[in-house]
Chain A
Amino acid sequence: MDVTVVPKKISGRSMLRADATRKFLAFGALILLLVYFSLASPHFMTFNNVVGILLQTSVNGVLALGVTFVIITGGIDLSIGTVMTFSGVMTAMFIVNWGLPVGVGVVGGVLTGGLAGLINGTVVARMKVPPFIATLGMMYIAKGLALVLSELRPIYFNDAPAFRSIALGSLIGKVFPEFEIPNAVLILFGAAIVAAFLLNRTVLGRYTFALGSNEEATRLSGVNVKFWKTLVYTVGGLFAGLGGVLMAARLNSAQPALGQGYELDAIAAVVIGGTSLSGGEGTIMGTIIGAFVMSVLINGLRIMSVDPEWQIVVTGAILIGAVYLDIIRRRA
C-alpha cells in the first residue's frame, strides 16, 4: 500500500508537465502576440480594439469548440462552415419569412445545425463513409440548401430588432456601463464552459477520447460506438448551428454566400490549440486560445497596416509553425 505512493507522484507530475508544456505553447504564443502588437501599435491595446478582437473570435471560436469534439475522435468535419450559413438562413426563414418568434428562430437555427451533424454522424458511423468525404458532401449540401432557400439573396432581420441584440446587445453593459462587451462574447465563453463540461465530466466526453484513442478497443469494451460517434458529430453540428445564429445576429442578416472557408479557420484554431488530428487528445482551453491566436494575429496585422492578402499568408505560416512546434515537443 505504502509503495503505491511513490509512482503516483512521479507519474502525476510528469503528466502534468506534459500537459503544461502543451498548454504553454499555445498560450505563450498568444501572450507573445499580445505583447508584440501592444508595443508595435498604440491602437492595439485599446478597449474598443480588444472588444473587436473578442467579437471577431466569437463565431470562429464557437465553430472550433464543436469541431474539437469531432477531431478528438480522430474524425474531421468540413461542413461546419456552410452548415453555419445554412443554420443562419433557416433562422431567417423562421423569423422573417414565417414570422415566428425570435426565440423559436434561434432554437430552430441551432437545431438545424444539430440535424446536419446528426446526418454527418449517421453517414460516418453507420454507413462507414470516411468523415472527410461525408462532411465534404454535407458541406456542398448545406451550401446548396442555403442558396436555394434564400433564393441567392441575403435575408435581413430589420423587423426583428431583438434578434440583432443576441450578438451585439450587451448584458454586461447594462450592469457595468463602462464595459459594453457584446453578448456574442458572453455566448462564446458560455459555450466554452458547456463544451469543457461535456468533454471532461460526462460520458460523452470520455467516449470522445476513447474513440480517438482506440476505436476497436472501445467497441470491444461494449461501448455503443455508432451511437456515441453519431452524437459527437451532432454536437459539432449544434455548435455550428449556434455559430450560424451568432453570425446572422452580428450581420443582422443571413448571408447565403458566406461560410465556406470558416471550417478551415475553425480547424486551424483547434490544431493551434494543441488538439491532435490523429485523435485521442485535445482541450477546450487550447481551442479557445487557438481561436484567439488567430484573431489577434489578423487584428494586429491589420492595425499595423499589413495587406489583408499578406495576413492570410501569415496565418498559414503560423498554422504550420504551431503544429511543427508540437511535433518537436513530442519528439523531445
Chain B
Amino acid sequence: MNEELVVMDGIDKSFPGVHALENCSFDLRAGEVHALVGENGAGKSTLMKVLAGVYSKDAGRILLRGKEVNLSNPRAAQQHGISMIHQELNLMPHLTVAQNIFIGREPRQGVRFLLNEKAINDQTRQLLETLHVDLDPRTKVASLTVAKQQMVEIAKALSFNSDVLIMDEPTAALTDAEIEELFRIIRHLRDRGVGIVYITHRLEELWRIADRVTVMRDGRYIDTVRIEDADINRIISMMVGRTIYEASPEIPENGSQEVVLEVRNLSRGRTLQNVSFQLKKGEIVGFAGLMGAGRTEVARAIFGADPIDSGEILVRGRKVTIKSPRDAVRHGIGYLSEDRKRYGLTLDMDVETNIVLAAFQRFLNRIGVVQQAKIRATAHRFVEMLAIKTPSLQQKVKNLSGGNQQKLVIAKWLTADTDILIFDEPTRGIDVGAKSEIYRLLNDLARQGKSIVMISSELPEILRMSHRIIVMCEGRITGELSSADATQEKIMQFATQRSAVVQ
C-alpha cells in the first residue's frame, strides 16, 4: 500500500442557498489514479476546489502526509504541491506555451523587473521533454488544439513539483487518439508517484485509467471502491441512488413514410462532398463519424449558418432556399449546437426569456410591446412539459445544470414551432441521470411527429436512439445502416472508410 498523500475528512461547504458539501471525505495515495464520479451538482468539483484552495471549507480538516494544512488560496495549495486543472482551461491564449507555464513566477535576470525569456523557454523545453510532449515552448497557446492546451496545463501543474494533480473532466473535449495520449501521460505520472484525482462523466474510462473510484451524490460522499470490484451498473446506481439499466434501447415506432427533409448533393469546399439524405416524419436519424467527419458542417449548412457551394434542400417536398438561420427557422428547422453555452443560450438572462427568444415576435402585441403574461404562460408550460428543474422562471440560465440547460434549448426551439430538429451532441457534458431524461425527451418528440437528426460521437447513444444511422467520413456519407443491422463495428468501418486518393 502506497503512502497516504491526502486525507479529507468531514468537509462541509455552503454557498448562499446551497449546501454544496455535507460531511465529505476523500483520500488519495501516492502513485494512484483516483476517479471521482457523480452527477452534475454532486459536489465533485466543489470538493476538489476546496482541496486546490479555490474555495475555503466551512468545516472539516485536510491532512497532507498526515499533517493538517490550511489551504486558503490557490497559491498556498500549489506550495503544498497540489495543482488543479480546471474544466475550463485557465490559459492565456495570446501568450506562448512557456509564458503560460511560468506566468507569475518568471525567471528574472539581474534586476527583478526584467524577464529572462531564454530561461523561460529552456526550462519549459526540459519540462515538456520529461513528459514526452512534443511542443515548442514559443508556440502561442491560441494556435494549439484543446488537447495540446491540456498538456500545457499539465506541464504547468507539474512545474510546481506537484505530487497531487486534480483533473476536472479532462477528456470532455478530446478525440479518442488525444484521450489515449492523455492517458499515457497520466500513467507516466502515476508511475512517478504522483497522486491523481480524476473527475469524469465518461464512466467507461474508469476501467482504462482508474485504480479506485469514489462516488458522490447530492453533496455527500457515497462510497469508494477498487476498480476491480466495481461494475458499471453498480457505480451508476450509486450515482443516481437508484438502478437504471443503460442497455435497454428505447426506439419508438416509426410508421410514417412522409419525407419532411431531403438534402441533395450538398457540397461545400472540401468539408462537404455530395451529401444526400432523407428524413421522415417522426424519425430519428443518427449521424455517426469521427471528429472532423463533417457532421456538424452538414447541420450548419442545412441551418444556413454556413454558405454552400451547391446542392438542394427540400422541406416537405418543396425546394427551399436557406441563406441564413432565419430562413431555416422560417421553414421549421431548429439547430441545437453542441456548444449550448456559446450558441444556444443567453446565459445571463432568465429562463422565460430564453424560452421565447427564438419566437419573440409572437410575444409582442400589435404596437410592439412585450406581453409578459403570455411569455410566462408559455415558459411555464414548457418547464412543466420538459420537467426543467429551476427554482423560478426568473432564474438566470447560467445557474442551471447542463441537463436543464439542454432542455431549455429544446424548449426554445419548440416555442419557435420547429419540427425538424438537429441535435449536435445533445448529451455532451450532461450527467447520466439527465442523459436518460434527454433520451426520453427525444423519443417523445419523435412520437409527436417531430423529425430529428442526432449527431453524436458516442456510439452507444447512436445505436440506442436512432431509427437509421448515417455514417460520415471526410465530408462524405460513407454508409447507412438500419437500427436492426447497426453495430459499433459496422459503424466504425464506415467511419474510417477514407477515399483512396487522399493519403
Contact = CB atoms under 8 A, between A and B. Distances in A.
A221 B134 contact: no
| Chain A contact residues: helix, strand, loop or mixed | helix
B104 A221 contact: yes
Interface of B: 54, 74-75, 78, 86, 90-95, 99, 103-106, 108, 112-115, 117, 125, 128-129, 134-136, 138-140, 143
B136 A217 contact: no
A203 B90 contact: no
Given A209-B92, A217-B90, A203 B108 contact: yes
A12 interface: yes
Contact of A202 (B93, B105, B113): B113
B95 A210 contact: yes
Interface string A1-22: 1011001100110110000000
Contacts of A11: 136, 138-140, 143
Contacts, number: 87
Most chain B beta-carbon contacts within 10 A, residue among A201, A203, A217, A218: A217
9 contacts: A7-B139, A12-B139, A15-B138, A201-B117, A203-B106, A203-B115, A206-B99, A213-B93, A218-B92
Contacts of B99: 206, 210
A214 B95 CA distance: 10
Given A203-B115, A214-B93, A220-B86, 12 more contacts: A7-B139, A201-B115, A202-B115, A206-B95, A206-B106, A216-B90, A217-B92, A217-B103, A220-B74, A222-B74, A222-B75, A280-B92
A214 B90 CA distance: 8
Interface residues of A, number: 29
Interface of A: 1, 3-4, 7-8, 11-12, 14-15, 201-206, 209-210, 212-214, 216-218, 220-223, 280-281
A280 B104 contact: no
A202 B134 CA distance: 28
Contacts of B113: 202-204
A223 B129 CA distance: 26
Given A218-B103, A221-B103, A213 B115 contact: no
Most chain A beta-carbon contacts within 10 A, residue among B103, B108, B140: B103
A7 B134 contact: yes
A101 to B, nearest CB: 29
A4 B138 contact: no
Given A4-B136, A223-B104, A206 B90 contact: no
B151 to A, nearest CB: 13
Contacts of B140: 11, 15
Most chain A beta-carbon contacts within 10 A, residue among B78, B104, B113: B104
Nearest to A9: B136
B371 to A, nearest CB: 33
B79 to A, nearest CB: 9
